[in-house]
Amino acid sequence: MTREELCKLKIEPLDTHAMGRVRARLDGIAKPIDGLGQFEKMLVQIAGVQGTADIAAERRAVLVMCADNGIVAEGVTQTSDAVTAAVCENMGRGRSSVNRMAAACGTDVLVTDIGVRRRIAGENIRDRKIRPGTLNFAEGPAMTEQEALAALEEGAAWVRECRDRGYQILGTGEMGIGNTTTAAAVACALLGLPPEEMTGRGAGLSDEGLMRKRAVIARAIGKYRLQEADALRVLAAVGGLDIAGIAGVIIGGALCRIPIVLDGVITAAAALVADRLVPGVRQYLLASHIGREPLCGVLLQELGLRPVICADMALGEGTGAAMLFPLLDMALAVYRLNDSFEQMKIEVYKRYRQQ
């Protein structure tokens, strides 16, 4: 994929006919109008994405992008980047947090090495390594634009593969030590926000470590003049291959008409990149939860997304996305199975205003 080809991509609008049918069905069910709150809006949106009122979400997976980030050399994390490979391999064995949570709700976990520094072993891990980790963006750009484009293309291709395998809805996940730094750098650059206020502690930093992390991001934004840059240049300068790959998944979801569920701040930063690169992809996104990082809420608000889980989580890996699926199952059970007002022979509730 070239920059020019990326710019030519067009996102189709949601299917308003399907959305209207789902909205009418929900209003006709014997329950209070908008009684399921945000979940009703999610069901309507999913219908618009899939183009049918027969919403399908049984065949689903969390797509986890794994990559290392050279910026860890600046002391912005509590652990070394060796943890990325260890957790990635553990995911491949089905033993990480996201595997446990996904298994509890009938969800697959599909893992891709898109840029882990070390060679990864495991038959359940897709090897799509663009390069063995990004460079230290304090010293030079994290990657080339061509590498960022390759990661975007890989993410989009993965969604096409999932569509062909029958998946109906996908969650996003990541693993990459240092990626709260890259996510904060990307988001602050694109939104014009001060890193001193928006950068959090990630997996856990001392006050000194947090100050260092914020300073590294602020210097890089100034060094590369990212306040004036487009999303692709920002991504290449201070982003990560995991973020680029997830952005590709999000673009692929919109092109393939598959709903994409975001996890936390990393995937939200990737969503912002994707929507800046290909305007309109936000219509195809669902927000699972609002994470602990200060930027998470800001990013979701910028994208016009409302999360339904507020649990102060900071687990990563796609665990928040996995947690949304059983909640959607419950909402779908009401949508599909509940009796209507007519069936129960009771007076229909009137809608006086949109909630």
Marked catalytic residue, from 147, 153, 154, 317 = 317
- Residue 320 CB coordination number (10 Å): 31
Strand partners, 349: none
For residue 190, what are its two tokens? 């694109």
Helices first, then strands: H and E counts in the chain: 15, 6
CB-CB contact of 274 with 247 (8 Å):
yes
Q: Pick the closest to residue 293 from 263, 323, 324 (CA basis).
A: 263
CA 130 to CA 241: how far, in whole Å? 8
Can you spell out the DSSP letters for 257-272? T--EEE-SHHHHHHHH
**Residue 139 falls in the annotated catalytic set:** no
CA 98 to CA 91: how far, in whole Å? 8
CA 29 to CA 21: how far, in whole Å? 13
Q: Pick the closest to residue 306 from 294, 317, 296 (CA basis).
A: 296
Q: Which residues are catalytic?
A: 317
